[in-house]
Structure 1
Amino acid sequence: MILRQHGVWFFPLVLTLLNFVSGAARTNAQTIYPFSGNYETTIKIKPIVDDLAEVIESAVSTDAPYGLDTYGGLVYSKTNVATGEVRFNVDPTIYGLQGYPQGFITFGDGANKLFGTADAGAKIDFEKLTAKGSGILNITGGEGIFQGATGILDFSEEDKVTLGETILLRGQALVSGSIQVPQKVPEPTIGLTLVAVGITYAGLMRRRRLMIGTSR
């Protein structure tokens, strides 16, 4: 009777143990890729209405790692003409724009790519025709070695400004931070399963013998 009772929870216990161990390994395993690159940037600010605009971004780099030597993005901006302050975001609805496509940022045009969102600010000096900006790039996915990537990249930028129907900013940006990628962990092998079963069964039999000895 005692053996039967132990048998009821024996196999669920083994499965729970294996699931816990393998689950913990999958949760904690990740690869961290440090990132730093200098980019030559081109930003085109195309007015939509009043102080709101669509912004097309592109950039190239000669020293960015992992083949991420190109950058492209679609964001939206709101400009305070009096102060020269500009805010950028990939979400047009933040500025009350409806019916416009969601913005994006992309690094790389080869096997390795990063995808994400941007939240940034800049200040344009309309007299000196210069601009300085900075912000955060929130990485939400990728391709190649960056499948499932997450991370935060910071950037700072300085530009020369060309005024016109479309405002053009050309300059240099430094992008840095780190990228986390979950690491694939093999499922437990049959060997691990047998070891776990053997250890659990040995403990069960020892306890059974003790209980039988006590009852005599």
Structure 2
Amino acid sequence: MIFNSLKVWLFPLALTLVGVCSNAARATAQTIYPLSSDYRTTVNITPIAGDISQVFEVGVSDDAPYGLELYKGLTYSVLDSKGNLTFNNNPEAFGVQGYPLGYIQFGDGTNKLFGTSDASAAVNFDNLTAKGSGLVYITGGEGIFKNATATLLFSEDDIVNLGSTITLNGLAKVSGSIKVSQKVPEPTTTTAVIGMGLIGVAFLRRRSRLQSTS
């Protein structure tokens, strides 16, 4: 009889502990925001030392979701003899000192994405066109994109306008999935402790009744 009573009261206790463990496993949730948008871009390439330039880009989209219609970025580039451009957000990678680190930002309202890029482009000086592609590494954000991470793909086709500052006007395609980790309130042990206490009290009362009737 006592063994059966133990089974009756230990079963709810086991369920309580399982519930606590399951809730703890769900303490971090992840939301995925897909992105596939076109940006009309303007890229200004300003020489600063030899073949090394400072590059500032602005893009505007008519179809970007989540308030990410505006894109802007600062980076640096080096041009080789074949017209190939290599970009890096850190000017010191090209041996240039005294310039700010580059950045990438999507959005100018409540929702923003921040990151860096790894890109290259080829310039055809015969027909004055350029094609570029690379990756955008999202490392944070604001609004719904707090704690965001992503690796976005982009490709770009431009028309080249020569001058003291080279200007590229074109269209960029950006796509990928933005992941946002959100912590949810973790369960406390209070409920489990109360539950176990009630189970213990009930078990002791039941055992006391059984002993009094024996």
Judge conservation of contact 2:27–2:186 (CA < 8 Å) in 1. no
Task: Give the match for residue 7 of structure 1.
Answer: none
1:150 deviates by: 0.6
Task: Give the match for residue 25 of structure 2.
Answer: 24
Structure 2: which 5+ residue stretches go unaligned?
Answer: 1-18, 204-214
1:186 deviates by: 1.7
Task: Give the match for residue 124 of structure 2.
Answer: 125
Query: Following superposition of structure 1 onto structure 2, how do residues 46-125 of structure 1 map, counting pairs within 5 Å?
Result: 46-80=46-80, 82-125=81-124
SS of 2:192's equivalent in the other structure is helix
1:98 deviates by: 1.5
1:24 alignment partner AA: A
1:183 deviates by: 1.8
Q: 1:135 to 1:196 in 2, by over 3 A?
A: farther
TM-score by length of 2: 0.79
Separation (CA, whole Å) in 2 of partners of 1:200 and 1:146: 42
* Identity value in percent: 56
Task: Give the match for residue 193 of structure 1.
Answer: 190
TM-score by length of 1: 0.79
Find the structure with the greater CA-based Rg: 2
Q: 1:162 to 1:30 in 2, by over 3 A?
A: same
SS of 1:110's equivalent in the other structure is coil
1:193 deviates by: 3.2
Separation (CA, whole Å) in 1 of partners of 2:86 and 2:58: 18
2:52 alignment partner AA: L
Structure 1: which 5+ residue stretches go unaligned?
Answer: 1-16, 206-216
SS of 1:58's equivalent in the other structure is strand
2:54 alignment partner AA: E
SS of 1:183's equivalent in the other structure is strand
1:100 deviates by: 1.1
1:25 deviates by: 2.5
